[in-house]
Each structure stands twice: as C-alpha cells, then as structure tokens.
Homo-oligomer: A and B are copies of this chain.
C-alpha cells in the first residue's frame, strides 16, 4: 500500500464528511456521492478506497460504517494520540478550544509556555507547564506529537527540544523551516502563504473574467462543482 500525505489528507476528509451526515440516514454510499461531498472526482475516491483495501459493491456502493471503521483503523493510533502544544498564545488557545470541543479524539495532554501568566493554568482540559518541565512531562506522558505555536524565532529551539524527548512529528504554524533529524515528520501550516494565494487568484479572477482561462489553474481553484450553483442560496447543506 503506497501511502502518501495527500491520501491521508483525503481519508481524513472522507471520514469527517461521512460522520457529518445525519447519522444513519445513509448506511451505503456511492463513489460519486462521496466525491461530491468532499469535492473530488469519483475515480479518485475509488482509487483511494482501493488503495486502503476497502471494497464496495456495484449494487450498493460502499458501507459507510465499515469505511469509517477502516479509516479509523488506519489513522487512529491504538492508544489515542497524546499531543503537546507549545505556545499558548491566541492561536494556541484557539486550537485547544476547538479540538477539545469538536475533536476530542486528538488529546492535547500538555501545553508549554514561557509566560508566568499561563503556566499552572488549565486551558480546555490541557494543563500549561513551564518550559523547564518539558523533558519530564513529555517522557512521563509518552507524548509523541507536538504543535508549535510560538513566535518564529523560538520555533527551532522548541522543535529540537521536543524531538529530543520522544516527539516524532510536529505541526508547525511558524514560517520557520525546521531542521529535523531524519525520521521526524513536520507538517507546515503557512497561513500567510495561504492568504497570499487567495489574494493572487482572487485578483486573477477579476482580470481574466474566470480562472480556467488560458494559462492559470490552482488545484482547487474555481472549486465550483458547478452543478449545484444554478439554484440560488445553497443554504447550509449537509
């Protein structure tokens, strides 16, 4: 099974969108329905499910609970993921709050910050420690994943320290490119670059009347699965 980062990303959205359906409304789903739900092509959906060895029937499509289970088996770590947050600033707190409320399966079990205001407090169930306690806490709670939401200049130091103490993968919100030992995984989220794309392609849209014109095409630019747009206000669906 050839597992790429994009496949994992799509599996994650397949699952999330399946779970968002009215529970029990559909226990079976066709590739083209799931595709519409997540904004992909039916062929890609079938290919992905084939890749993970999940098989449907031509008559009824794919079994929804079964698919969710299969994806869970693949993505969810057996013991549940213990995650550490470093930098309990505006962004860090938003993340703690959101995941605590809507995705408790991601267990943020420790936070770290330099600010004495934050240390000792508990944010959405996640206790904030001083940096000095990092080593002990990481090892004691067997934390394997980290989220970096500190100012850019602190990112590399913090990352190194995490990885030295058992953390094997990071989500990095900083524009800094982190140097990691081989084997460690870093997922960068660069919001400035994302906004820059929005501005660029939005501007193009204006100039060229439409993005599909001659020479430009973002991957999901012109997202429009046009079918549903003749109607007027596609009021909050799904």
Question: Chain A, interface size: which category?
Answer: 35 or more
Which single residue of chain B is at the shortest CB-CB distance from A36?
A: B177
Q: Are A229 and B187 in contact (CB under 8 A)?
A: no
Q: Flag if A201 contacts B16 (CB, 8 Å).
A: no
From B11, B75, B168, B179, give the contact of A224 (CB < 8 A): B179
Given contact pairs A98-B91, A215-B1, A236-B155, A192 touches B75 in the complex (Cβ within 8 A): no
Quick one: which of A176, A178, A183 has the most chain B CB within 10 A?
A183
Are B211 and A175 in contact (CB-based, < 8 A)? no
- Chain A 190-238 residues near chain B, CB threshold 8 A: 190-206, 209-212, 215-226, 228-229, 233-238
Contacts of A39 in B (CB 8 A): 177
Cβ contact within 8 Å between B236 and A203: no
Q: How many copies does the complex hold?
A: 2
Binary B-proximity of A123-164 (CB < 8 A = 1, otherwise 0):
000000000000000000000110100001111110010000
B90 touches A94 (CB 8 A): yes
| B223:A185 contact, CB within 8 angstroms | yes
Of the residues B144, B175, B218, contact of A206 by C-beta under 8 Å: B144
Known pairs A13-B175, A187-B194, A236-B157; A169 contacts B201 (CB<8 A): yes
* Interface residue? A60 (CB, 8 A): no
Distance between A118 CB and nearest chain B CB, rounded to angstroms: 15
Question: Min CB distance, A94 to chain B, in Å?
Answer: 4
From A2-10, A22-30, A42-50, give the one contacting chain B.
A2-10
**In chain B, what residue has the closest Cβ to A208?**
B183
Binding site for B on A (CB under 8 A): 1-6, 8-9, 11-13, 16-17, 20, 37-39, 74-77, 81, 83, 89-91, 93-95, 97-99, 103, 106, 144-145, 147, 152-157, 160, 167-171, 175-206, 209-212, 215-226, 228-229, 233-238
Q: What are 14 residue pairs bridging A and B, where the CB atoms are less than 8 Å apart in the complex?
A: A6-B219, A8-B201, A12-B196, A20-B152, A75-B196, A75-B199, A76-B199, A77-B203, A145-B195, A169-B203, A178-B223, A183-B211, A184-B222, A185-B211
What 8 pairs between A and B have smallest CB-CB spacing?
A169-B202, A5-B218, A90-B94, A185-B201, A183-B210, A12-B193, A168-B202, A12-B196
